Amino acid sequence: MPRKGLDLQTILQAATELADTEGFGAVTLATLAKKLNVRPPSLYNHIEGLGGLKKKLAVYGMEVLYERLAKASIGRSKDEAVHSMSGAYIEFAREHPGIYELTLHALDPEDQDVQRAGSKIVDLTVQILKGYELENDEVIHAVRGLRSILHGFSSLEQKGGFGLSLDLNKSLYLLIESFLAGIHKMKQL
């Protein structure tokens, strides 16, 4: 029988806090149960073990990321939308380093929940980049390029790879400007 007051949302919020403060490797059923002041078996009423928890956390993280990206891009188009969406992506990775990292780890790509959550992010990015009149494969290449830039930037920042005391947000802005210059150049070819 589920413990009163314990639900999936409460579990995910507690696990998110653990992942973001201590790293996603610190999220175990034992540490989560301790944080929630319950016994580990109580968690099984809401999740299917540690694997199930990590999948739900990853999907939850992708859903939160999608919401942030969508909110940042509403009412914007082209360069403004790409800059705003990129900023929201980096801010998500900064605020939720553990969950961000978990969304990238070997989830089952055949899992429908994982596919649905990931597809929403890809579809949003495609819609924004279609504003540049990219066609077919061009838009997929652009989506991959933007994702690579944002993930690379996030990963380097999280791992302390930017040691110089230059403004990271300015670096991101210039990087996205370079990407956009490439997009504009593609349409001239």
Domains and CATH numbers, the chain: 51-188 (1.10.357.10)
Greatest Cα pair distance in the chain: 64
Please, are residues 40 and 76 in contact by the beta-carbon 8 Å criterion?
no
CB atoms within 10 A of CB 138: 16
Question: How confident is the model at residue 1, as a pLDDT?
Answer: 45
* CB neighbours of residue 70 within 10 Å: 15
Task: Give yes or no for a contact between 41 and 35, defined as CB atoms under 8 angstroms apart.
Answer: no
Return the pLDDT at 163: 83
In angstroms, the CA 149 to CA 142 distance is 11
Model pTM score: 0.89
Q: What is the DSSP string of 81-102?
A: HHHHHHHHHHHHHHH-HHHHHH
User: CA-based angle 109:110:112, to the nearest 5?
Assistant: 105
Q: Average pLDDT, whole number, for the chain?
A: 91
pLDDT in tens, 44-101: 989 999 989 988 999 999 999 999 999 999 999 999 999 999 999 999 999 999 999 8
56 is written with which tokens? Answer: 């739900």
- By residue count, the chain amounts to 189
The residue to which tokens 């940042």 are assigned: 72
